């Protein structure tokens, strides 16, 4: 039995698909299941039982003896939400309860952290656990993820295996429901379909030209490959970066989306919205050496490979993973 929280969401539903591919069919899906849009993410997947997130801990107390692994992917991920109580409940306190249950019931744990913890990258993007207390996230979402990472590292009692994964800019199938929080590739595809062009944020930083802002974009298929690797590995507990390891520009992203759609590039620039302008990351790049050092050898998709697969095999035909 494998538990996936955030099961109806983007990464959680892709992870269930991967587990099904590996013939893990005794899946417990934990979420609130209230969104009809997210329901499509679970269509056709082999799931043993659905458990509402607010009923989960009672369920676990009754069924822990059957649980082999827990993936805690569920979280409030809206970087424009500024109500701290929302994050305190869903991202911080909920995660602490999961951690404690994994100790009590000897369940190995992989949980989702975020590259949002790095803030403007003043201390770089190395997953060195000693610098985590010094990081300065730019929004409550990043703060909630960083506070849990700090809390986890401070605990004397830990699950016998645990890993926190700092997801960088994840994109790929099953993010149809995410609206403003969907990946730039998803927005690019829809803009190109509707208008024939792509609008990118203008740079408001003297060191970056328009469209030359750089991010580490990581394909969701690579993310779930790492998750299942850790499920089988179960050694070397700690906090790990999970990006492609290669920063690319938004111009690269836009041009590759046009190319995957077999269209000529037509790119314009608009001002970055005022509500996120002073909290905008101009450069991120995951140092992936730590994950490689514990034996992860699989190739990460290049931006070209990931966008081509996403656009041609999922967005154009409207398919889900």
Residue 280 annotated as binding site: yes
Residue 127 annotated in ligand binding? no
Single out the residue of 280, 289, 285 nearest to residue 119, CA to CA: 280
Residue 202 annotated in ligand binding: yes
As given in the structure block, the two tokens for residue 263 are: 């269209």
How close are the terminal C-alpha atoms of the chain, in Å? 21
Q: Is the dihedral of CA 124, 216, 271, 116 positive or negative?
A: negative
Distances (CA, A) of 79 to 83, 94, 119: 11, 18, 12
248 annotated to a ligand binding site: no
Q: What residues pair up with 49 in beta bridges, in sequence order?
A: 28
Question: CA 218, CA 228: separation in Å to the nearest integer?
Answer: 16
**Is 96 labelled as part of a ligand binding site?**
no
203 is in an annotated binding site: yes
Rounded CA-CA distance 111/107 in Å is 12
Q: Is 73 flagged in the annotation as binding? A: yes
Q: Is 53 part of any known ligand binding site?
A: yes
Enumerate the H helices of 130-238 as residue ranges: 140-154, 184-195, 220-233
144 is in an annotated binding site: no
Q: Where are the alpha helices (DSSP H) in the chain?
A: 10-21, 36-42, 56-63, 84-87, 94-104, 140-154, 184-195, 220-233, 250-260, 274-277, 289-293, 303-310
263 is in an annotated binding site: no
The backbone region for 207, taken as left when phi is positive above 0, alpha when psi lies in -120 to 50, beta otherwise, is alpha
* Residue 50 counted as an annotated binding residue: no
Q: Is 178 annotated as a binding residue?
A: yes
Q: Is 11 annotated as a binding residue?
A: yes
Look at residue 35 and give its three-state secondary structure.
coil
Which two structure tokens, joined as six digits, stand for 276? 């996120």
Contact (Cβ atoms closer than 8 angstroms) between residue 180 and residue 254: no
Whether residue 168 contacts residue 127, with contact meaning beta carbons closer than 8 Å, is answered with no
Question: Pick from 124, 161, 157, 108: which is nearest to 1 by CA?
Answer: 108
DSSP-derived letter for residue 234 is -
Residue 266 in marked binding region: no
Say if residue 215 carries a ligand binding annotation: yes
Q: What is the set of active-site residues?
A: 141, 178
Return binding residues for substrate: 169, 180, 187, 201-204, 215, 280
Return binding residues for NADP(+): 10-11, 31-32, 38, 53, 73-77, 145, 170, 178
Return binding residues: 10-11, 31-32, 38, 53, 73-77, 145, 169-170, 178, 180, 187, 201-204, 215, 280
């Amino acid at each position: 039995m494998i538990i996936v929280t955030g099961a109806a969401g983007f990464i959680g539903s892709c992870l269930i698909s991967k587990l099904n591919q590996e013939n893990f069919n005794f899946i417990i899906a934990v979420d609130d299941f209230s969104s009809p849009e997210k329901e499509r993410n679970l269509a056709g997947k082999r799931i043993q039982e659905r458990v509402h997130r607010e009923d989960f801990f009672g369920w676990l107390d009754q069924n822990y003896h059957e649980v082999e692994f827990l993936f805690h992917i569920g979280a409030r991920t809206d970087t424009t939400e500024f109500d701290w109580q929302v994050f305190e409940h869903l991202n911080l306190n909920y995660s602490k309860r999961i951690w404690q249950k994994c100790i009590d019931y000897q369940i190995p744990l992989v949980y989702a952290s975020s590259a949002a913890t790095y803030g403007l990258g003043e201390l770089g993007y190395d997953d060195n656990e000693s610098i985590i207390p010094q990081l300065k996230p730019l929004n409550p979402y990043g703060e909630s993820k960083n506070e849990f990472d700090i809390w986890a590292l401070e605990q004397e009692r830990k699950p016998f295996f645990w890993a926190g994964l700092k997801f960088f800019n994840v994109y790929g199938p099953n993010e149809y429901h995410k609206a403003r929080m969907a990946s730039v590739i998803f927005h690019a595809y829809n803009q190109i379909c509707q208008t024939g062009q792509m609008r990118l944020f203008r740079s408001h930083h003297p060191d970056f030209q328009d469209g030359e802002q750089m991010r580490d974009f990581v394909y969701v298929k690579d993310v779930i490959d790492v998750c299942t690797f850790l499920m089988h590995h179960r050694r070397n507990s700690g906090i790990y970066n999970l990006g492609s390891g290669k920063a690319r520009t938004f111009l690269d992203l836009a041009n590759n989306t046009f190319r995957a759609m077999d269209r000529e590039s037509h790119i314009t620039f608009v001002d970055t919205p005022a509500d996120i302008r002073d909290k905008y990351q101009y450069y991120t790049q995951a140092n992936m050496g730590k994950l490689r050092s514990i034996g992860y050898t699989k190739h990460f998709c290049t931006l070209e490979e990931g966008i081509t697969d996403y656009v041609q095999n999922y967005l154009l035909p409207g398919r889900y993973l």
